[in-house]
Amino acid sequence: MVFRQCRLLAGTFGIIAAGLLTGCNAIPEKDAEPDTERWAPRMPVPKTEALPVVHGSLFNPAYSRNLFEDRMAFRIGDILTVRLDEKTSSRKSSGTTMDKNSSASMPNPILFGSLKELNVEAGMDRAFEGSTGSTMDNSLSGDITVTVAEVFSNGALHIIGEKWLRLNQGDEYIRIEGMVRPEDISPDNVVMSMRLANARIMYSGSGPLNDANDAGWLTKFFNSPIMPM
């Protein structure tokens, strides 16, 4: 009877352990969604006063442009293309070596007028040696078209936008935000990503392939620094 209860208890623990191991898939976070309020395209600011429409004339002041004005983005709601050409590379290595030696001895004492030989000696040696290294290379290229969200007093433009790609096994998206000078915009209305100040570039995805590449919560726990081994 006791043996049967032990087998039942062991089977119960086995089922629980199997459930924990099979539940090591990542707990999905809230998936990103397109056209959120933060990343939605900015619309042009409407004019407060409508310009009068002149009937019977080829010139319409409502659609006039300066003779020397180009077609580059410089107002809220204008469209601008960002050419991504990001490359990062880092190398890091470190090593640590520690040694410590200590010893102690006690002379033979004299007890009751005679010398007693105890031969007490103690010693301790400690040593530690460790090394680590890491290498990282990243590359991101492509084009993304964004809109001007704000124009600062110095003429700099705050741009923001996103691009979504629907694939067979999920979605991929690129989000970008930053500040750009009008003089860094080429005549064909393109700016290089390396010219963006305070840039925020995010490239990620959602779906089963993205979830499969994420370590589960139990795996992250065993790989965390709090584990003793």
Domain spans in the chain, listed from the N-terminal domain onward: 65-90+138-222, 93-133
Q: Tell me: the pLDDT tens digits for 9-55?
A: 555 555 555 554 444 444 444 566 666 777 777 776 665 555 566 56
Neighbouring-strand partners of residue 77: none
112 dihedral zone (left: phi>0; alpha: psi -120 to 50; beta): left
Q: Tell me: the pLDDT tens digits for 127-148?
A: 777 777 888 888 889 999 999 9
Neighbouring-strand partners of residue 146: 80
Pick the more confident residue, 153 or 70.
153
Contact between residue 223 and residue 28 where contact means Cβ atoms under 8 Å apart:
no
Q: Tell me: the pLDDT tens digits for 171-202?
A: 888 999 999 999 999 999 999 999 999 999 99
pLDDT at res. 198 = 93
pLDDT at res. 2 = 46
Contact between residue 21 and residue 14 where contact means Cβ atoms under 8 Å apart:
no
pTM (predicted TM-score):
0.55
In angstroms, rounded to a whole number, what is the distance separating the alpha carbons of residues 11 and 19? Answer: 12
Whether the per-residue pLDDT at 86 is higher than 80: the answer is yes
> Where residue 126 falls among pLDDT bands split at 50, 70, 90?
confident
pLDDT at res. 57 = 61
CA angle 175, 179, 180 (to 5 degrees): 110
Q: What is the 3-state secondary structure (H, E, C) of the chain?
A: CHHHHHHHHHHHHHHHHHHHHHCCCCCCCCCCCCCCCCCCCCCCCCCCCCCCCCCCCCCCHHHCCCCCCCCCCCCCCCEEEEEEEEEEEEEEEEEEEEEEEEEEEECCCEECCEECCCCEEEEEEEEEEEEEEEEEEEEEEEEEEEEEEEECCCCCEEEEEEEEEEECCEEEEEEEEEEECHHHCCCCCEEEHHHCEEEEEEEEEECHHHHHCCCCHHHHHHCCCCCCC
